[in-house]
A and B are shown apart, each in its own frame.
Chain A
Amino acid sequence: MLVQGIKSRPVYTGLAIDLQARRHLFALEGEGIEALLDQVKAVGAQFLETSDILCVGKLPDVKAEYMWSAPTIPVLLNRLNVNLINAKMGTRLYLSGTEGFIGQAMKIALDQNIDFNSIRTEHRGSTARRVQCVHCKGITDDVKTSPFTCAHCGLNLLVRDHYSRRLAAFQGVCIDAEQPGTAPAPVVMFP
């Protein structure tokens, strides 16, 4: 479960298939596949006939009109961007997987001027965070502890409960700036 009550973090309310949509575009990562399968159980498989499913890695065991597997997240994001450029009115976007994945895919959608409120999202998988170092601006993926070491500038960063949709990242702030070298040991906070 993700920690609740962070004002700047999006609320991931679930995929909830929009049966009025003319097309459904899914971008799924890892355990995000399960969120799709749960929707098939809940509302039946008919929506798959008008669905494009983009997945990182293994495809779900369903028959959709179009399914495509990407080897990595960046490859999927490029493809998602192309699909959105070509998308027609009436397309509904669904994102599921880890928070870092949802955030990056949402960023692609925001850049295509899609209102974030219209995107259906469901968090699945690890609670690891994607964090931007506020000092060097480098982003470190898959952060499980606080503090952690910035992968770019090497500072010890506290992970603040403050999230930017535009950057798809939490904020990391140097924890021992006042007395360098006094950072506490990392604690697993986001397994």
Chain B
Amino acid sequence: MHSTGLNTNQIMRQVIYALILGVSAAYVFFGWGVIIQILLGAISAIVFESAFVALRGRKVIDSISDGSAVLTGILLAISIPAIAPWWIVVVGVAFAIIFGKQLYGGLGNNPFNPAMLGYAFLLISYPLQMTTWPVDFLSFNQAVEVIFQLLHFDGLSGATRLDDVKTSLSLGRELTTLQIHSSAQAWINAGFLIGGVYLLARKIISWHIPVAFLSGILIMAVLISMFDSQQHLPIQNHLMLGGTMLAAFFIATDPISASTTPKGRLIYGFLIGILVVVIRSFGGYPDGIAFAILLLNMTVPLIDYYTQPKAFGKS
């Protein structure tokens, strides 16, 4: 006897559908590059997953059909700049699937979030390509030319929004022009927020991690701004810039690498939020989400062990 609820494959598909709104917002501001990156990410995820599952002597179709590899590919593709060269996403997905997932035994056995592992790998290895974002909408042809490096397009690119804001803040510049650009990121974040609420409503994710994560960010941002409001990002930017909402609802909530107990999920989400703000404010990288999540992934067994609920009749 089994419930009529969603099965694992349907869950993965629902998560992908919930991404549509945020991705559409990204498309509106950055153009076709976004879509091309996602296609590249999804296709390379299928290729690497199939190859490795076949190497491990498992049934390829079972593994591909669960949709988890495609989801990893898409999440990574969304996280990287829309004008990054094609091989960036391919290399990142390869690393995510092979080292982040298959070497641990495939779906369900990976201690780290594969997409974030791929992202961290790319950020450390190719910092320039990973922090250069388009400043304008790119047509299909432009995007193809940039991504497949048919010609150089220096005029179209700029630094990552958060990086930009941070640099200008430390230089003491006015925020006016930058605020216009950051509205793009705010819209994208709003898109992912709505998608996240959809996942909550469908009971595909629980509220614990997103709520704890966002409160972690908020509390830490408030604390930091209390001491030094000039040198750091405004509080609302912490929430609506960078990958905050994507991470809150789609990445930190990856059940496989997250804590599994209700109390544990609150601790896990909250600490990621704190770390994200700490890395953004004091670290050398523009955004700290990937590192914060990977660091907390390591603590999951410990958190789970100490947050076991009391069994019935044992309290």
Q: Do A and B come from one complex?
A: no
> Chain B: residues with CB nearer than 8 A to chain A?
none
> Chain A: residues with CB nearer than 8 A to chain B?
none
